[in-house]
Amino acid sequence: MIIEFLELFVNAGFWAATVRIACPLLLATLGELICERAGVLNLGIEGIMTAGAMVGWTAVYLGADLSLGIIFAALIGAIFGLIHAGFTVHLGASQHVTGIGITLLAASISYFAFRLILPTSTTPPKIKAFEPIEILYLSDIPFLGPIFFQQTFFTYLAFLAVPIVIWFLNRSPFGLAVKMAGENPMALEAQGINVLRIRTIAVMIGSALMAVGGAYLTMSAFNAFYFGMINGRGWIAVALVIFAAWKPERAILGALLFAGLDAYQVRAQQLAGAVIPYQFFLMLPYVLSIAAMVFAAKSTRYPKALLIPFRRGERH
Partner 1 sequence: MHSLLEVESISKSFGDLTANNDISFSVSEGEIVAVLGENGAGKTTLMNIIFGHYLPDSGSIKFKGEKIPVGNTRAAINLGIGMVHQHFTLAENLSVLENIAIGNQSLLGFSIDFKQIEHKITKISGEFGLAVDPRAIISDLSIGEKQRVEIIKTLFGDCELVILDEPTASLTPQEVDQLFLIIRSMVKVGLGVIIISHKLDEILRISDRIIVLRNGKLTGSMDKANFDKSILAEMIVGKKTERPEKNKGKKTEKLMELIGLNISSNVGSPMGLSDINFELFGGEIHGIAGVSGNGQRTFAEVMAGHIRPDSGDLLINGKRIKKITPRAFMDEGVAYIPEDRTSDGVVGELSILDNGVLTETKNPKIANRFGFLNKKSSIKFVGEICEENDVRFQSLSQPTRLLSGGNIQKLLIGRWLKRNPEIIIACQPTRGLDEGAIVSVQKLLLEERDKGKAVLFITEDLDELLLVSDVISIMFDGKLMGPYNYDKLEKREIGLMMTGSGIL
- Does the protein bind partner 1 through residue 184 (CB under 8 A)? yes
Instruction: Give the shortest CB-175-to-partner 1 separation in angstroms.
Output: 9
According to CB under 8 A, which one of 186, 282, 283, 308 is a site residue for partner 1?
186
Which CB atom, from 80 or from 243, has the smaller least distance to partner 1?
243
Phi, psi torsion values for 232, nearest 5 degrees = 80, 0
Alpha-carbon gap, residue 78 to 102, rounded angstroms: 12
- Does the protein bind partner 1 through residue 113 (CB under 8 A)? no
Instruction: Give the shortest CB-78-to-partner 1 separation in angstroms.
Output: 18
Q: Provide the sign of the torsion angle of the four alpha carbons 68, 42, 49, 298, taken in this order.
A: positive
Closest alpha carbon to 255 in 42, 8, 33, 13: 33
Residue 158: count of CB within 10 angstroms of its CB: 28
According to CB under 8 A, which one of 161, 180, 204, 210 is a site residue for partner 1?
180
Which CB atom, from 167 or from 226, has the smaller least distance to partner 1?
167
- Does the protein bind partner 1 through residue 316 (CB under 8 A)? yes
Binders of partner 1: how many residues, by CB under 8 A?
27
Contact 213, 28 (CB under 8 A): yes
- Does the protein bind partner 1 through residue 62 (CB under 8 A)? no
| Distances 298 to 6, 117, 239, 253, 292 between C-alpha atoms, Å | 30, 47, 13, 17, 10
Binding mask 149-168 for partner 1 (x = CB under 8 A): ------------------x-
Instruction: Indicate the residue type of 235.
Output: W
Which CB atom, from 173 or from 228, has the smaller least distance to partner 1?
173
Contact 226, 53 (CB under 8 A): no
- Does the protein bind partner 1 through residue 176 (CB under 8 A)? yes
Which CB atom, from 41 or from 198, has the smaller least distance to partner 1?
198
According to CB under 8 A, which one of 9, 143, 174, 226 is a site residue for partner 1?
174
Contacts of 44 by beta carbon, 8 Å cutoff, 6+ apart: 80, 81, 84, 98, 99, 100, 101, 102, 103, 106, 207
Interface positions with partner 1 (CB under 8 A)? 167, 171-174, 176-177, 179-180, 183-184, 186-193, 198, 299, 301, 303-304, 313, 315-316
